[in-house]
Amino acid sequence: MSNQFDVVVIGAGPAGYVCAIRAAQLGLKTACIERWSDDKGKPTLGGTCLNVGCIPSKTLLDSSQKYVEAKRDFSTHGIKHSGVEIDVAAMMGRKDNIVKTLTGGIAGLFKANGVTLLHGAGKVLKGKRVELTRADGSVEIVGAEHTIIATGSRPIEIPPTPLTDDLIVDSTGALAFKSVPKRLGVIGAGVIGLELGSVWGRLGAEVVVLEAMEGFLAAADQQIARESRKILEKQGLDIRLGARVTASEVKGKDVEVTYVDGDGTEHKITFDKLIVAVGRRPYTENLFAADSGIEMDERGFIHVDDHCNTSVPGVYAIGDVVRGPMLAHKGSEEGVVVAERIAGQKAQMNYDLIPSVIYTHPEIAWIGKTEEEVKALGEAYKVGTFPFAASGRALAANEGHGMVKVISDKATDRILGVHIVGPSAADLVQQAVIAMEFAASTEDLALTIFSHPTLSEALHEAVLAVDDHAIHIANRKKRR
C-alpha cells in the first residue's frame, strides 16, 4: 500500500468533510475520498447538500421570496414600483456562484487542516484497507486504521414516473429549470416537495402537489401541520392528499399524470414539468467488498450502534447511510462525535434533540415530541401557544402568519417539544434546542429576559401561556 492513514473518510458531504476536518484537528493523519467531479473533471466537495440540495435550494427560495415581496408586498410598506420581472438565468447564476464559493471553501479548509483529498470512488475492503478507483480507471489500495463511511443519499425513483432529461425530474433537475413552467406537478408533500413547489410557485407556476398519504406532514405536530397547510394553500399551492400516482406519459412537451384519490377515483392531470420528490435512499451501492463484513438492511442502510460503529471494528458510518433523519446537521454532528471518539475522547450525541426545518415561507420548524407523541405515551402535559399575529416585530415586518407551540411535562414543567410555523422559525427553534439540551423548564424560559421587539418574544409568550401567564394574548382563564 502506497498510503497509510489513521482515518479515511469516504464521502465529502456535510457528514464526511466535517468528520475529516475534525479528525485532522485532533492530530490524526486523515484522508477524504470523493468521487464527484465538475464539468472540468476537478473534484467537487460538499456532497448533495452544497451542490444539489440544502444550499442551492435555499438560495432559490430566498431569491423567489424576494421576487414575491417585490411584486406583492412592497406596496404595503409604501414602496411604489412597476415592471418587476424575474430573470431565471441570473437567479440560477447567483445560485451557482454561491455553490462554487462554498464548495471551494471546503477545499481550502482541507488544506488548512492538513486533510489529504483523494479523488475517486472508495470501496471498503477486508483488513483495514480501502480501494480507491480514480476517474482514469487506475486503482490504489489505501491503508486505513479507521474508515468512516459518509456517502450520503440519492433521490428515490418510482416506477410510475421514470425520469426524463427535462420533463420528469428529481430534486436535482428541479434546481436547474431554465424557465418557469406554467403547470408544475410535484409528487410528494414532504420537505423537498414543499420547498421546490414553493420556489416555482412564487415565480408564477401553477403548482399541484400530489401526496399519497392521507395526512399532511405526518412527522410534524398536527396543529402546526394544519396551520402550515392553510398558509401554503393560501399562497397558491394546490395540495392534494391521498393522491397515489399510478402512471405517467410524456406527450410532446407535456407529461400526463394518472393518480387515484382516497375514494379510489382515477384522475388525469397534465403538467409542463413534473418533480418527483418522494424521499431519498442511502448511497451504498458497490461500496463494500463481498468479504468486508459490513451489515446492511434490505433498504441499503448500514447497521450501526449508538456511536456509529458498524459490524466491523474500526469501520464507522454516519449521515444519510444510517438510521435517523436525513439531515445535514445530524450527519455533521455524527462526524464530529466519531472523530473525537477515535481520538480517545468521550464524545456523544443527543439523538432526541435534532431539530427539523422546512424552509417554506413562513418556515416550519420543530424540536422534541409532538402533542400526538406525548398523548400516545400517556404522559400528562401542558400546552402554550402564541400567534405571530400578536407579535409587534412580526407585524412590523409584515410577517404575522403562524404560531409558536410549546409542550411541557405537567408534573416537572420540563419542556418536551417546541413547534413553530412562522417567520425565522429555523432560528427561533434553535433557542428551544439549547434550552432543552440543558433540561430547561418552561419557567426557566419564562424568567429569561427577551429583547423587545423581537420575533423571539413569541417563544417567550408561548412558554408563559403554558401556565396561563401570557401577557400579550388572552389566557384561557384569569390569574390573580
Which residues are designated catalytic? 452
**Which three cell numbers mark 48?**
448533495
Residues 6+ apart with CB under 8 A from 363: 357, 420, 421, 422, 423, 424, 425, 426
The neighbour count for residue 265, using CB atoms within 10 Å, is: 8
**Which three cell numbers mark 54?**
440544502
In terms of C-beta distances under 8 Å and separation of at least 24 residues, what long-range contacts does 341-344 make, across chains too? 341/307, 342/6, 342/7, 342/23, 342/26, 342/28, 342/146, 342/316, 343/23, 343/26, 343/27, 343/28
Contact 23, 161 (CB under 8 A): no
Residue located via cell numbers 400517556 = 378
Q: SS in 3 state form for the chain? A: CCEEEEEEEECCCHHHHHHHHHHHHCCCCEEEEECCECCCCCECCCHHHHHHCHHHHHHHHHHHHHHHHHHHHHHHHCCCCCCCCCCHHHHHHHHHHHHHHHHHHHHHHHHHHCCEEEECEEEEECCCEEEEECCCCCEEEEEEEEEEECCCEEECCCCCCCCCCCCEECHHHHCCCCCCCCEEEEECCCHHHHHHHHHHHHCCCEEEEEECCCCCCCCCCHHHHHHHHHHHHHHCCEEEECCEEEEEEEECCEEEEEEECCCCCEEEEEECEEEECCCEEECCCCCECCCCCCCECCCCCECCCCCCECCCCCEEECHHHCCCCCCHHHHHHHHHHHHHHHCCCCCCCCHHHCCEEECCCCEEEEEECCHHHHHHHCCCEEEEEEEHHHCHHHHHCCCCCCEEEEEEECCCCEEEEEEEEECCHHHHHHHHHHHHHCCCEHHHHHCCCCCCCCCCHHHHHHHHHHCCCCCCCCCCCCCC
